[in-house]
Structure formats: structure tokens, C-alpha cells
Amino acid sequence: MASHAFKTAADKYVFDYDREVAAFYRDHPERKKTLFFLEAGEETIICRGDEDDVDEVAELLGHNPALCATVGQVQKSGFSQALRCVSEGYDYVLLKLPCNKKNVRPLGCSASQDVVNFFCFNHEIGHMVCPGGSNKGAELEKEYIADAYAAIRLIQRFGADSEIKNLPAMRAVEMLFCENASHFTLPVVERIIADAKTVDFSALSPQQTVARAVEYAEKYGEKPQMVGFMADAFYALGLNARSLWIRDFAPVRALGDVLLETKIPEQYKWGKTILNAVLEGDIGQDGERMPKPEGAEWAALRQAVEARAAEFKNPQPGIIIVPKL
């Protein structure tokens, strides 16, 4: 049994940064003095995991403009980051708790904030410990790796029937509303979730977990060209947080029209996920539910889009027809 293979009920889990860092160092003792964990407060920077690292990290901060700039970005945005300083030989994971709180996300599919913190923590670790996880110029590929690692770690901790099943819908909504195509990791995560029914991920050692994450990313990651095409097509609709807040539902109608016409299975599948979340009123920001379109027109649109599902039931693998733009 792997050292990290213990289960916790997701609804009872409380994220403890220091405890998780200590567990990481137990699993990866070779990274004890090369990977540091920081918490960025509004005006403070706290070194997590080991008090003996505090002075060392303070000195590094004083001589590393790139690290200081990244800390500033995390403090301002609230989004977690990982940073590799090749010249100094150190890696850093930076969190601002609670993680990613301002993201637009599907409320009904959202994990608890503590589980989100755990996922973000492991996502950033995935960038640092997995080969290819921090490669420059390979934005989509390294996010596949980081999400694959975090997804496996989530299953190891909470089980295959936990909130991990909601991650694909969350990433689909984030792609559109946060305009973040680089985190379109849905095919990889979806495959891991499916395999969890027959694969005992909890039996993997820490090193095997790293290897399997890279394997899933390489084997099941969507082609960057397809992700770019879908992102551009969706962004052009003007469907965003502002349009929902001001009850401008014309972009929602436009998304429906795209789904009624597209011949691309991926665009239909993930676009329908977004459309359903909007029509169900399941899109929220900062925990507040956004307005949704209501009435017979929208019920008919949803029914018409759903009626096309049979057309995409058995898509031919590897054949993607991208229309000329």
C-alpha cells in the first residue's frame, strides 16, 4: 500500500497547508531543499511546511526579482502558481488561500473550498515534480500533466466517487468564462475518472503517480489546434460573466445555434456542458448565482440541442474536421 493511500471523506476534509507540505516531503524526501511552499497573504508571505526554511526562503526572496513578481501576481489575482528558478536550482509553489475563489464556476458541480485548495496544491506540485510539467512554450501540455497529477491525487485521497467527477464540467465553464483555454484538460481528467472504476490509483507509489500522470497527459490530451479552435469559436460569442450579470442572453442563444450546427463532436460535447449549466442557473461567481434565461424558448433550445446527441454517439476517433475560418 502506498504511503499516501489513505481515504478522507471529502465533506469532512479541512485543508491544512503545513500538514499537506509535510506529507509531500515524506513522499518526496529528495525535494526537501529544492521545492519550497509559500502562502501569499494580502501583504505577507508565509513559508509553509518547515520553520527551518523560513530564513532561507526570506533570503531567496530578497535576491530573486522573478519570485517576488510571481508572489505579487498571486497576491493580486488569488490564483495559485508554480515557479521554477533554473539558475538557482529551486522550485516554488505559491498559494493564496482560499484558492481561485473568484473563478466563475458551476455551483452545483463545485467542490468544497477545502477540496479546491487540495486540488490546487497538487496541481502546482504536478508542474514541479512531473517531467514536462514546467516546459516553456507548451502551455496546454503542461496543464494536462498538472491536472492529471492532481486528479489522481484527489482520487487517492477521497476516492473515485468524490467531487473529482465534477472537475470536467468545472474546466469547461472556466475555459469560456475565464477565457482560459490553457486549462482545457477535460479529456485527460475524464479518462482518469473513467479508469478509476477499474484502476486502483491508491496502490501507486509517489513515483508511480508521477509517471502515470505524464502517461495520461501524453495519451489523452486534446490536440492544441482543436482546443484553440473551440476556444476562439466560443469566445467570439461574447458569452461571459458580464453578459449574464446584465441579463444579456443573446450570446446564450448564439451558443445554442453553434451547437445546433456544429459537426465537431468535441465542440458539441463541451459546448452542451456549458449551455446546460447556464440554462440551469448553475453558474456562479464568488459563490453568488448568476441570472439564467427562463421561458419556453430556452426549454425548446435545450431540447433541440439534446436531440442531436445521437449524431455524436460514436464519433470516429482521430478524425477531426476543422472548418476554414
* Domain enclosing residue 304, as ranges: 224-312
Assigned domain for 318 exists: no
Assign 172 to helix, strand or coil.
helix
Assigned domain for 162 exists: yes
Q: Cell 478524425 maps to which residue? A: 319
Assigned domain for 5 exists: no
Domain shared by 56 and 145, yes or no: yes
Name the DSSP letter for residue 263.
-
Domain shared by 42 and 132, yes or no: yes
**How many other C-beta atoms can be found within 10 angstroms of the C-beta atom of residue 95?**
26
Mean pLDDT of the chain: 84
* Mean pLDDT value across residues 281-309: 90
pLDDT, tens digit (0-9, with 9 covering 90-100), for 51-90: 666 676 777 777 778 888 888 888 888 888 898 888 778 8
Assigned domain for 324 exists: no
Assigned domain for 321 exists: no
Assigned domain for 240 exists: yes
Confidence at residue 8, expressed as pLDDT on a 0 to 100 scale: 54
pLDDT, tens digit (0-9, with 9 covering 90-100), for 168-224: 877 888 888 877 788 889 899 999 999 999 999 999 999 999 999 999 999 999 888
Assigned domain for 159 exists: yes
pTM of the model: 0.86
Total count of domains within the chain = 2
Domain shared by 22 and 42, yes or no: yes
Confidence at residue 211, expressed as pLDDT on a 0 to 100 scale: 97
Domain shared by 183 and 289, yes or no: no
**How many other C-beta atoms can be found within 10 angstroms of the C-beta atom of residue 40?**
23
Element (H, E) at 46: strand 45-48
Confidence at residue 105, expressed as pLDDT on a 0 to 100 scale: 62
Characterize 12-25 residue by residue with b for buried, 16 or more Cβ atoms within 10 angstroms of its Cβ, and e for exposed: ebebebeebbebbb
User: Is the per-residue pLDDT at 2 higher than 60?
Assistant: no
Confidence at residue 53, expressed as pLDDT on a 0 to 100 scale: 63
Q: Distances in Å between the alpha carbon of 18 and those of 7, 21, 29, 46?
A: 19, 5, 15, 11
Domain shared by 191 and 265, yes or no: no
Residues paired with residue 37 on neighbouring β-strands, in sequence order: 48, 93
Domain shared by 52 and 139, yes or no: yes
Domain shared by 131 and 183, yes or no: yes
Position with higher pLDDT, 278 vs 3: 278
Category of 313 on φ-ψ map: left (φ > 0), alpha (ψ -120 to 50) or beta: alpha
**How many other C-beta atoms can be found within 10 angstroms of the C-beta atom of residue 209?**
24
User: Is the per-residue pLDDT at 40 higher than 90?
Assistant: no
Assigned domain for 317 exists: no
Confidence at residue 319, expressed as pLDDT on a 0 to 100 scale: 46
Residues 6+ apart with CB under 8 A from 240: 176, 177, 179, 251
Domain shared by 149 and 295, yes or no: no
What whole-number distance in Å separates Cα of residue 264 and Cα of residue 49?
A: 47
Domain shared by 284 and 252, yes or no: yes
Cβ atoms of 155 and 163 closer than 8 Å: no
| Residue that terminates a domain, selected from 188, 220, 252 | 220
**255 confidence band (pLDDT: 50, 70, 90):** very high
Domain shared by 216 and 230, yes or no: no
Cβ atoms of 186 and 270 closer than 8 Å: yes
| Residue that terminates a domain, selected from 178, 201, 220 | 220
| Residue that terminates a domain, selected from 220, 238, 253 | 220
**How many other C-beta atoms can be found within 10 angstroms of the C-beta atom of residue 144?**
30
Domain shared by 265 and 214, yes or no: no
Domain shared by 215 and 232, yes or no: no
What whole-number distance in Å separates Cα of residue 54 and Cα of residue 36?
A: 10
